[in-house]
Structure 1
Amino acid sequence: MAKHIRWGILGASNFALNHMAPAIHSARGGMFSALATSDAENAKPFVEKVPGLTVFEDYDALLADDQIDAIYVPLPNHLHVEWTLKALRAGKHVLCEKPIAMRADQIDEIITLRNETGLLAAEAYMIVHHPQWQKAKALYEAGAIGELIRVSGAFSYDNSADGGNIRNRPETGGGAIPDIGVYTYGSTRFVTGQEPQEILSTAIRYENDVDVWSHITAQFPSFHYTAVNSMRMSPWQDMTFHGSEGVMRLTAPFNPMVYGEARIDLHRASGEIAVYRFPGDNHYVLQVEAFNRSATSGAAYACPLEFSRGTQAMIDMVFDKDRG
């Protein structure tokens, strides 16, 4: 196995420019080596960040470069499966933006090819690499809040003024639940290790055939769950785990350092409050470093495709329930 991962990025998205390219470039165990984009102007700010960066005019040319070990895919949602499979067939490890697929069964083909090639393929689900979430899981498993009774999550922002945004377009796999429901749904699964038994209710508002606001309730084996996700509300992030002996609340659970400080407030039944702060951890960098370690050593990865499939299965359950 390679000891140092040389990364290529498919597409010059703003998210790649502002978050993942810097993370790949600064993460230990790898380097940002190449970019594929047909627009030379879009490549310029990447080259300014990484002088000497190789720029390809099309995606296939990047995949054909034997100097590249891993591919990051930040393309619109409807292209994720196609280019993840192409990258694996080209002999590259793949980190693909979420959601990695639009339906859970589409992930099965990726899992099969991952197993056949022995390469690492994963969804870019960065939060599980952040110590805030790792601590939350450890506290829950240690019984810090007693028997879990209720979980509530909320994640919202407002992009109503940007009609051309891929999240507002059905043909690119848009919608609030595919974009941010993965966090309110998946983080609950990550902390508790439980899967939803039933979606009890859905209230979803659509615009231009994409969901822009939703409130869902679900039953897990040992707790009740509720979540709100919206692209039409003031920005807000919150996850609360309410048990028989305490309440665990995560602030800035999904965009720490952008939305606010990552913190866990643990309220015990006695009235005592324990506060855990994580002010300087960058989950994008931590994610890439974890990927580099797994790709070079074969070590277990915190977010395998099987986990991502479970979150997508829950999303499928929500839409199936809503559409009858």
Structure 2
Amino acid sequence: MSKVRWGVLSTAKIGTVKVIPGMQRGTYCEVTGIASRSLENARTVADKLHIPNAYGSYEELLEDPNIDAVYIPLPNHMHVPWAIKAIHAGKHVLCEKPIGLNVEEARQLADIAHQHPKLKVMEAFMYRHHPQWQKAREIVRNGGIGTPVSIQSFFSYFNNNPGDIRNNAEWGGGGMMDIGCYPISLSRFIFEGEPEKVIASVTRDEEFKTDVVASVMIDFGGIMSTFTCGTKLAPYQRVHIHGTEGRVEIEIPFNAPPDKPCILWHQQGEEITEIEVPTADQYTVQGDLMSQAILEDTEVPTPISDAVANMEVIEAVFRSERSGRWEAVSHMLVE
């Protein structure tokens, strides 16, 4: 059976702890190389994860003809520059979210991706591929909650480490870029449309200058998605999808465990049904879906245009933070 030969740019924790092990369990994935700015560091991680090839620079990995595709878990400000370099090197690209620092960067990447139609480029919103989200969307699509009316989400953790890149404003740190992008993405995924406007209240850290708590309302033309995200709050996550006749509640919506079933609840009228979703590693599923698209030359599950659209909402949130008013979400067509 054919497999896609993957290389990884950086030894970032999200890659070494979650994504790479998940992809290594995939049917269509083969992680064959990992790069770091230090060859010694790359070799240490490669040995630990049983990856055959280590590279002392990102450029060296991109130059290897035996690498078909790259996964990019670099800091946010490096996503677009290295994704573009990977495309120019003839590699397919799976890049961590958010796709870039702003809409301009996202559109730049989308434009270059469309100039190379044989290469697949996708933002790594792994949660969408987990069976629990596919089930939730199926329930909503099939009228299981009546007419969708509202989504309420909460996503938080506590991190006051000044050395953590998520607390570096210049590198795209802060709660909105790190975890607020998930409630935005999921509302667009479930409502299957784009919002008209947003309004937000944002609190920033005096030292880091990053957003540490944000509460946001997203208006999809009378259908609302509201969420709070924070980087200096007790760790918690939950999603409620409400309709005229029922609701869906997802217990662990984003960091779904790879080693045990997930639970969601479906309420219709007064009756509540607990649904156990079979065990799945969302990183394995993501890697296999992307690899299948590469092998079969089909569309990726989440097109690059979706990444641009998500960034447009994020920018509207920050505009609302500054203005204190509702801000329209621009929707520039990505061809």
User: AA paired with 1:167?
Assistant: R
Structure 2: 5+ residue stretches without partners: 324-335
Tell me which residue corresponds to 2:89: 90
Contact kept? 2:183, 2:227, Cα under 8 Å: yes
Report the CA distance shift for 1:142/1:222 in structure 2 as closer, same or farther (over 3 A). Answer: farther
Tell me which residue corresponds to 1:204: 202
Tell me which residue corresponds to 1:108: 107
1:295 pairs with 2:294: yes
Contact kept? 2:70, 2:94, Cα under 8 Å: yes
Contact kept? 1:8, 1:35, Cα under 8 Å: yes
Instruction: Compare 258-267 and 306-315 and name the one that shifted more.
Output: 258-267
User: AA paired with 1:84?
Assistant: A
Offset of residue 220 of structure 1? 1.1
User: AA paired with 2:69?
Assistant: A
Tell me which residue corresponds to 2:156: 156
CA distance in 1, matches of 2:309, 2:147: 23
1:79 pairs with 2:78: yes
Query: What is the correspondence of 1:178-257 to structure 2 with a 5 Å cutoff?
Result: 178-199=177-198, 201-207=199-205, 208-257=208-257
Query: What is the correspondence of 1:275-286 to structure 2 with a 5 Å cutoff?
Result: 275-286=274-285
Offset of residue 47 of structure 1? 1.5
User: AA paired with 2:227?
Assistant: A
Identity %: 29
Instruction: Compare 37-46 and 88-97 and name the one that shifted more.
Output: 37-46
Offset of residue 252 of structure 1? 0.2
Instruction: Compare 228-237 and 276-285 and name the one that shifted more.
Output: 276-285
Instruction: Compare 222-231 and 257-266 and name the one that shifted more.
Output: 257-266
CA distance in 2, matches of 1:263, 1:311: 27
CA distance in 1, matches of 2:259, 2:183: 15
Deviating beyond 4 angstroms after TM superposition, the runs of 4 or more aligned structure 1 residues are: 258-261
Secondary structure in structure 1 of the residue aligned to 2:145: coil
User: AA paired with 2:181?
Assistant: V
CA distance in 2, matches of 1:260, 1:247: 24
Cα-Cα RMSD: 1.7
Contact kept? 2:258, 2:279, Cα under 8 Å: no
CA distance in 2, matches of 1:260, 1:179: 25
Tell me which residue corresponds to 2:137: 137
Structure 1: 5+ residue stretches without partners: none
TM-score when scaled to structure 1?
A: 0.94
CA distance in 2, matches of 1:276, 1:72: 33
TM-score when scaled to structure 2?
A: 0.91
Instruction: Compare 260-269 and 146-155 and name the one that shifted more.
Output: 260-269
Instruction: Compare 234-243 and 213-222 and name the one that shifted more.
Output: 213-222
Offset of residue 4 of structure 1? 2.1
CA distance in 1, matches of 2:83, 2:41: 25
1:65-120 per-position Cα deviation (integer Å, ceiling 9, x unaligned):
10100011000000000000000000000000000111123222222222222200
1:311 pairs with 2:310: yes
CA distance in 1, matches of 2:223, 2:238: 18
Offset of residue 38 of structure 1? 2.6
